[in-house]
Chain A
């Protein structure tokens, strides 16, 4: 669709914009060619009206050769050639018009005076045509950036959807199977403990499944989910791990996306503690500072642990993508390995009950 021709109101505006141009041209012709004001005006206005439509056609050549896909040289070559041709035809029209006026004995001697202004007219024609070309390229660029923005928004919506789907698939099946195996062991040796573990596992699952529906939850709620998870792992791993928490009171009220930290704590088990013969530790720090909520999940691991024979890091990747999709630049996510310590540091905007946002 032509941006100007497609609407009558735009076309009218466009033609109005040519009126000062026609006036300027008339002035130039009068000044350089010795034409009278009437002669100049009766030539320049019909000529400009005609040329306004010639310049409209530049849109089609601009769209046919987008600026991004051809070299500058090629672009200049094509459009300058077009400008020369258009302007050449234009001055032919001017001469024809002057000839007609002459024939009608309206303005005797007009053709002679016009020939003196022809170079000016030609130059004006070329410049006006090239000006339209740049105008259309500008429009095209604007359009492209708008499309890009729309696509970015669409991508974000898709990321949100992916986030929701990921949340629903969040419960790690291996955690579930190993826990069920532990329950299976306990049923004979310690039925009371087996029952306790069933209840803990049920509690954890119910919370996990319920949270997927929410957009954010207070950190306190995420922590109680983590505690439910740890209670199950405590039975599986016995004394093989130690959990330390340093969470500022105000941080507990801050809102975070649900199941943001639980996968990190679970990671600490699958890649850290489960590979340590003498057991290991997990530490979770959270505090508010300068309008941001900083969270650190740190754990010990064996740098010489057997390599995982399947893709890992899905939990980390998922957390990072969810932060990005939701907070963009306002959140950070840093993974560090230092000796036998592995840590994930997250900052996100401190939003929640305790703070007006």
Chain B
């Protein structure tokens, strides 16, 4: 990464409107040191391209088909500098919460664009601070308050799956990842289980153990299991450990 100065900055433009991509392209044209390695018109394409190409700089629209800009960020390993480009000023705070380099409001002029590029170069030349904090966690915490997750995008290689939370049976913490169990399959996602817990509706999902969050609709019964512990039996027969604190929470919920 330290040899960044000698090589070109590889950029990707993500926007569903071709005219909007064209504006960014034109603003980049005079900059010989920046190479546009690809353009995407929707979230799926963006995740695929970014995962495969690992660009340095991403111009990212927010409202797009399939995945929105924040969901794209959740699914990529960002060492990249992100410049949001959107007509909506309402996302600005969240954009900076996920450590965006800049937030360009459409329509913008050359001067404003240059300022964004300068900030991006600065970020890329410094020892990228974004790498220290996983983007996934940031994007998840950047969710607006009082609005719970409705779907969870996950990535397997360059392929993206969308899991509606109603189809999530349970989630299990595995080191830096969570394994999301849905319809008998497991999907891994790089995210601490606590941040997933915070994003899910607490009236539908419960942390029953340090390592488990369960979809309450799936729980058929709770049985004692050894001293002080219990197991939750799910509709599909899966048994999950329930800690003492988890059992107290589960009982509090069932008694309501």
Contact = CB atoms under 8 A, between A and B. Distances in A.
> Do A and B come from the same complex?
yes
A304 B18 CA distance: 22
A178 B17 contact: yes
A36 interface: no
Interface of A: 173-174, 177-178, 180-186, 188-189, 235-238, 274-277, 302, 304-310
A177 B87 contact: yes
Interface residues of B, number: 34
Across the A-B interface, give the 3 residue pairs with the lowest CB-CB distance, nearest first: A177-B87, A181-B106, A306-B68
B42 interface: yes
B70 interface: yes
Given A185-B19, A186-B19, A309-B147, 10 more contacts: A180-B107, A181-B20, A181-B87, A236-B17, A276-B65, A305-B65, A306-B63, A306-B68, A309-B62, A310-B144
Given A181-B107, A188-B26, A310 B88 contact: yes
Nearest to A174: B87
A277 B68 CA distance: 13
Given A178-B87, A277-B65, A306-B64, A184 B18 contact: no
A189 B71 contact: no
B16 interface: yes
A174 B17 CA distance: 14
B23 A309 contact: no
Contact of A185 (B23, B42, B62, B88): B23
Contact of A177 (B66, B105, B144, B147): B105
Chain B at the A interface: SS class: loop
14 contacts: A173-B87, A174-B88, A181-B107, A185-B20, A275-B64, A277-B41, A304-B66, A304-B151, A304-B162, A309-B68, A309-B143, A309-B144, A310-B90, A310-B91
Contact of A181 (B23, B62, B150): B23
A275 B106 contact: no
Nearest to A184: B107
Nearest to B88: A174
A307 to B, nearest CB: 5
A310 B91 CA distance: 9
B67 interface: yes
A219 B51 CA distance: 50
A319 to B, nearest CB: 22
Given A186-B19, A275-B65, A307 B151 contact: yes
Given A307-B150, A310-B88, A236 B19 contact: yes
Nearest to B44: A277
A265 B87 CA distance: 20
A130 B41 CA distance: 80
B125 interface: no
B22 interface: yes
B66 A306 contact: yes
A238 B66 CA distance: 19
A188 B27 CA distance: 11
A182 B88 CA distance: 15
Nearest to A177: B87
Given A177-B105, A276-B65, A307-B150, A184 B17 contact: no
A180 B106 contact: yes
Interface string B47-87: 00000000000000011111110110000000000000001
B241 interface: no
B77 to A, nearest CB: 20
Interface in B172-214: none
B71 A177 contact: no
A205 B236 CA distance: 57
B165 to A, nearest CB: 11
B246 interface: no
B67 A306 contact: yes
A237 B20 CA distance: 11
Contacts of A305: 65-66
Contacts of A174: 87-88
A226 to B, nearest CB: 21
A305 B16 CA distance: 13
A309 B144 CA distance: 7
A274 B66 contact: no
Given A189-B22, A307-B150, A277 B66 contact: yes
B105 A182 contact: no
A306 to B, nearest CB: 4
Contacts of A275: 64-66
A197 to B, nearest CB: 10
